[in-house]
């Protein structure tokens, strides 16, 4: 069975998934800084009420921005109360194709739902493509377990005070199925994606041997 993260990585670049699979298991342990940033998503009420705690929290925006963004999420999202105090935390879900962890699991206004907490920067709107695939993988697994459709899930970027609803829908489901197929096909190194935006931040850039645009222009190629 595939891990949610495998499918999300295949959506980013199948070759990256190939390299991840070559790594020892301890390379996939969660770094302490990621845990600290993720923990912010479980402390919203405290942080909103405690200036000193908010100033010390690993948050990338000002306290005013953090409060204002969470205030807008609270006003906008019917699931806010459940997100702020979820029934399940770090819950293992097993679906038909994939298994992995949902950081929050709760009964939302639309039925069973979940949230994944991302510690990087959010896009201007929506969620990044691999994160969309990751969310759908988790939604499908929850749906499989509960034997009921899961149509809306949530993405949190706590270091930015951003919480977004994500509707699963046909387009995201198709992208998810495509990523599952891509992950299943990986048995040797797939072709490079040749995409500077993806390759520049990729941790496997050196062993992959890609030349990003700046290097190509230096080399005149
Ligand atoms: S460097 Fe680029 S092509 Fe190579 S694994 Fe990373 S994203 Fe894929």
Kindly report, residue by residue over 55-79, the tens digit of the pLDDT.
999 999 999 999 999 999 999 999 9
Token duo for residue 200: 């520049």
Number of structural domains found in the chain: 2
Judge if 158 and 199 occupy the same domain: no
Q: Among candidates 11, 30, 10, which has minimal Cα distance to 20?
A: 10
208 and 101 share a domain?
no
> Do 179 and 212 sit in the same domain of this protein?
no
- Coil, strand, or helix at residue 106? strand
> Cα 211 to chain center, whole Å?
27
Based on the domain organization, do 94 and 49 belong to the same domain? yes
Assess whether 158 and 210 both reside in one domain. no
Q: CA 36 → CA 33, 86, 176, distances in Å? A: 5, 18, 29
CA distance 1 to 196: 31
Ligand 1 center–CA 6 separation, angstroms: 15
Is the same domain home to 138 and 211? no
Question: Rounded to the nearest whole angstrom, what is the distance from the C-alpha of residue 173 to the centroid of ligand 1?
Answer: 24
Q: How confident is the model at residue 212 (pLDDT cuts 50, 70, 90)?
A: low
CA distance 85 to 12: 31
d(CA 162, ligand 1 centre) in Å: 28
Ligand 1 is surrounded, with C-beta below 6 A, by 13, 15-16, 19, 192-193, 198-199, 202, 204-205, 208, 210
Given a cut of 60, whether residue 217 has pLDDT beyond it is no
Q: Which domain covers residue 63, as residue numbers?
A: 2-189
Nearest CA owner, ligand 1 atom 5:
16
**Count of C-beta atoms within a 10 Å radius of residue 169:** 11
Same-domain check for residues 166 and 218: no
Q: Is the pLDDT of residue 221 over 50?
A: no
Q: What is the mean pLDDT of residues 111-122?
A: 97
Residue found by looking up tokens 């010390």 in the block: 56
């Amino acid at each position: 069975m595939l891990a949610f993260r495998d499918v999300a990585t295949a959506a980013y670049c199948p070759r990256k998934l190939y390299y991840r699979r070559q790594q020892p298991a301890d390379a996939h342990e969660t770094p302490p800084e990621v845990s600290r940033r993720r923990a912010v998503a479980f402390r919203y009420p405290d942080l909103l009420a405690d200036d000193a705690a908010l100033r010390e929290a690993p948050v990338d925006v000002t306290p005013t921005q953090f409060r204002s963004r969470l205030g807008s999420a609270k006003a906008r999202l019917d699931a806010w109360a459940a997100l702020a105090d979820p029934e399940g935390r770090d819950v293992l879900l097993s679906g038909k194709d994939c298994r992995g962890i949902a950081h929050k699991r709760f009964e939302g206004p639309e039925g069973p739902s979940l949230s994944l907490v991302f510690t990087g920067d959010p896009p201007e709107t929506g969620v990044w493509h691999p994160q969309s695939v990751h969310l759908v993988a988790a939604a499908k697994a929850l749906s499989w377990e509960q034997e009921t459709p899961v149509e809306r899930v949530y993405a949190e970027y706590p270091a930015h005070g951003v919480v977004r609803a994500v509707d699963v829908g046909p387009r995201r489901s198709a992208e998810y199925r495509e990523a599952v197929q891509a992950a299943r096909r990986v048995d040797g190194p797939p072709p490079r994606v040749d995409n500077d935006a993806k390759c520049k931040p990729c941790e496997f850039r050196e062993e992959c041997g890609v030349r990003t645009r700046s290097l190509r222009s230096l080399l005149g190629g």
